[in-house]
Structure 1
Amino acid sequence: MSEQEYEKYYVPDQSPWPFVGAVALFLIAVGAGNFVVEVTKDKEGYGGVTLGVGVLILLVMLFGWFKNQIDESMSGLYSKQLDRSYRQGMSWFIFSEVMFFAAFFGALFYARVFSVPWLGGASNNAMTAEVLWPSFEAIWPLVKTPGGTETQAMGAAGLPLYNTIILLISSVTCHFAHVGLEQNNRKKLTLFLGATILLGIVFLTLQVEEYIHAYTEMGLTLDAGVYGNTFFMLTGFHGMHVTLGTLMLIIMFLRVLSGHFTSKNHFAFQATSWYWHFVDVVWVCLFVFVYLI
């Protein structure tokens, strides 16, 4: 038998980080749900505090778990077999994220393709439409709710277009950073990776500005009917993923400055690159189906 067939497979010790991450996600889910209710219904509560605590614990978990992974990697504990396991794990994680967004895009398509036409009287639903929503106009986006609340649709021009260009450029800079790492060109790697992080921060800043504009000037809020719900659900979850991706890129940048990674051994960077490109593709779909069409 060859030596490779007896290759050691490192099994890490028990870790508290999965439990800590589960607690953080639970607090984020509960806090976000309560915070939305408090904002839309103008109520007082602890939703914002719970959400903030959850995010803080999540950040602690990310940096703590990443530190353990980095220490194990730099200690030479990982093998080629474990590297394949990491690649399979990251691939399945991205696939789960694809399914996550597919569910929300499915809700958007169902509302646009089925619900709106039915309420307009399509498919022999004229009587149902009159009962549920008299004088309903079957157009998308719906800028008026059954309760009479009116809003405006967010157009593709302006901030959404700028953010699309920014993310597309960031995907290019991320690719060139990866190329620089493969070429063992640390200067090129640092320059383009830093540019990618900067573009991610600019994207998030502009998205916050877009949300402020939507709430204060357009009347586009979370309780503005199915259009407002799907708009903030899709763009908000995407913004959360951009935030996570930016944090991952920052960690990779710090590791690069510390002299980590080689041209042959850099899967942590490669996995982050995969995630960033995935986030960019999701935004392009968002721009087309939420803003443009």
Structure 2
Amino acid sequence: MAQTHSTDANIYFVPHSSKWPFVGSIALFTTMIGVASWLNETGWGKWVFFAGALMMIATLFMWFGDVIRESVSGNYNKQVDVSFRMGMVWFIFSEVMFFAAFFGALFYARQFALPWLGGNGDGVMTNDLLWQGFSNAWPSNGPGSIGGHFQTIPAWGLPLINTLILLTSGVTITIAHHALKAGERGKLLFWLGATVLLGCTFLYFQAEEYIHAYHELNLTLGSGIYGSTFFMLTGFHGAHVTLGTIMLAIIWLRCARGHFDKDNHFGFEAVAWYWHFVDVVWLGLFLFVYVL
């Protein structure tokens, strides 16, 4: 059962044991097994992925419900609020490191691996012995031309539109935050709803971009180093936008039910922090993946 630990005048809420981390780990493992199998064209991979995804959605729904009930029952005090803020800061830091690994892979491929294979610098012998005639150029699917000829997506089409959409969503959620602190619930719901709509619009355009890339440009996850880095970076970012949009929708429902006030609304702030992080990552993607 839930309990409180008391030290002098300070009371800290300790939640009861929860089964959701265990269930969530099984759901996530199932989902990733499905993804890996699907990408390797295993017949059952797609169905395992959908089963894991449904398990994950159900787990999050139940887990979020437990946390929301703890919050509205008044169990969270200032000490708990500080713990939540520290936890969210470390979570976002871990996400920064996650994307840094993929940006690092892109940087290494462009600045070191391809120049060496093309005979530049220390790669003269590599080029002479293994890949004579290969010249360093970006974008590239490598000296083996893995996946065949492909075309890239122009930066000033859908990627620019999606950039403007995410930048606008950063403004709308900031307006919603100010409205919450001012106690203007109608304004809060309008601008937060606009943020959810902009997130959905971004995902729609990204899906259109992927369909165009696969069916008309022959740009796929198997298009060598360019295809793999392109889809890993933009795909994981899209997954984060999806999660962020779901969280924004949940926060909208909570705001509509009056769960937050101007002094106690860390749930809103946490999602806003996450959304701003997603915006910043996309700016890096737009610059280093699409433009340069």
TM-score relative to the length of structure 1: 0.95
CA contact (8 A) 2:31 2:48 kept: yes
Query: Given the alignment of the two structures, is residue 82 of structure 1 paired with residue 80 of structure 2, yes or no?
Result: yes
CA contact (8 A) 2:134 2:143 kept: no
Question: Does residue 71 in structure 1 map to residue 69 in structure 2?
Answer: yes
The AA in structure 1 aligned to 2:14 is V
Q: After TM superposition, give the deviation of residue 4 of structure 1 in Å.
A: 9.1
Of stretches 4-13 and 50-59 in structure 1, the one that deviates more from structure 2 is: 4-13
Gaps of 5+ in 2: 1-5
Is the 2:27–2:52 Cα contact (8 Å) retained in structure 1?
Answer: yes
* Alignment partner, residue 195 of structure 2: 196
Using the size of structure 2 for normalisation, the TM-score is: 0.95
2:117 maps to 119
Deviation of residue 147 (structure 1)?
4.4
The match for 2:214 is 215
What residue identity is the alignment partner of 1:269? F
1:138 is aligned to: 136
Q: Is the 8 A contact 1:145 1:225 kept in 2?
A: no
* Mapped partners of 1:145, 1:201: distance in 2: 38
Tell me the distance in 2 between the aligned counterparts of 1:167 and 1:109.
Answer: 24
Report which stretch shifted further, 140-149 or 241-250: 140-149
1:56 aligns to 2:65 (yes or no): no
SS across alignment from 1:260: coil
1:62 maps to a residue whose letter is: L
Unmatched 5+ stretches in structure 1: 39-43
Question: What is the aligned counterpart of 1:28 among 12, 16, 31?
Answer: 31
Percent of aligned positions that are identical? 55
Indicate whether 1:100 and 2:103 are aligned. Answer: no
Given that 2:141 and 2:225 are in contact with CA atoms closer than 8 Å, whether structure 1 keeps it comes out as: no
Is 1:143–1:152's contact at 8 Å kept on the other side of the alignment? Answer: no
- The one of 16, 21, 27 equivalent to 2:19 is 16
User: 1:100 deviation in Å?
Assistant: 0.3
Aligned-partner residue type, residue 107 of structure 2: F
Q: Distance in 2 between matches of 1:33 and 1:133?
A: 31
1:127-165 Cα deviation digits (max 9, x unpaired): 211333221120111056504611112220111110000
TM superposition shift of 1:5? 4.9
Choose 142-151 or 87-96, whichever is displaced more.
142-151
2:127 maps to what in 1? 129
Distance in 1 (alpha carbons) for counterparts of 2:162 and 2:11: 46
1:162 corresponds to which letter in structure 2?
I
Distance in 2, Cα, partners of 1:129 & 1:222? 26
Distance 2:155 2:20 in 1: 41
Aligned-pair CA distance for 1:79? 1.3
RMSD (Å) for aligned C-alpha atoms: 1.4
How far 1:114 sits from its partner (Å)? Answer: 0.3
CA distance in 1, matches of 2:162, 2:31: 26
Question: What is the CA–CA distance in structure 1 between the aligned matches of 2:228 and 2:122, rounded to whole Å?
Answer: 27
Q: Distance in 1 between matches of 2:270 and 2:216?
A: 40
- Mapped contact 2:114–2:142 kept (Cα < 8 A): no
Q: Distance in 1 between matches of 2:18 and 2:210?
A: 38
Q: 2:3 aligns to what?
A: none
Matched, 1:205 2:209: no
- Listed one character per residue, the Cα deviations across residues 175-195 of structure 1 (whole Å, up to 9, x for unaligned) are 101110000100110010000
Whether the 8 Å contact between 1:119 and 1:133 is mirrored in structure 2 is yes
What letter is aligned with 2:152?
A: A
Alignment coverage as a number of residue pairs: 286
Do 1:159 and 1:210's aligned partners in 2 also have CA atoms closer than 8 Å?
yes
Give the aligned residue type for 2:12: Y
Aligned to 1:279: 278
Letter in 1 for 2:125: M
